[in-house]
């Protein structure tokens, strides 16, 4: 497995989640502060997560691709960065990923 720390060293995570039980969905925002080691950075993501938007600092970027459990973002300046990811997904019932509980 590729070590994503070779691309980006996270220092702080901030998560905001909203659960929509009636629709069995959730939405969220994750803000990651850290140091980019390359102009391309990678993060592991849940494979069924739908990425809606990615921001580098305050600027939305279209230079990203989500597939096979990873998010790849290009055009990042090396050094300190704040990366924000907006996403949504389905609340599962099989205890995988984000799931419903009673």
What pLDDT is stored for residue 63 in this prediction? 97
Residue-range domains of the chain with CATH: 4-90 (2.60.40.1730)
Q: Is 0.85 topped by the overall pTM? A: yes
**97 has pLDDT over 80:** no
Sign of CA dihedral 46, 95, 32, 36: negative
**94 has pLDDT over 90:** no
User: What span, in angstroms and rounded, lies between the C-alpha atoms of 31 and 75?
Assistant: 18
Compute how many other C-beta atoms are within 10 angstroms of the C-beta atom of residue 63. Answer: 13
């Amino acid at each position: 497995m590729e070590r994503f720390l070779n691309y980006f060293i996270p220092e702080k995570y901030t998560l905001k989640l909203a659960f929509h039980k009636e629709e069995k969905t959730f939405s969220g925002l994750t803000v990651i502060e850290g140091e980019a080691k390359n102009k391309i950075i990678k993060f592991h993501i849940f494979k069924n997560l739908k990425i809606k938007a990615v921001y580098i600092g305050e600027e939305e970027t279209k230079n990203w691709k989500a597939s096979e459990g990873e998010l790849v973002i290009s055009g990042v300046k090396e050094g300190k960065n704040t990366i924000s990811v907006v996403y949504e997904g389905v609340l599962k019932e099989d205890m995988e990923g984000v799931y419903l509980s009673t």
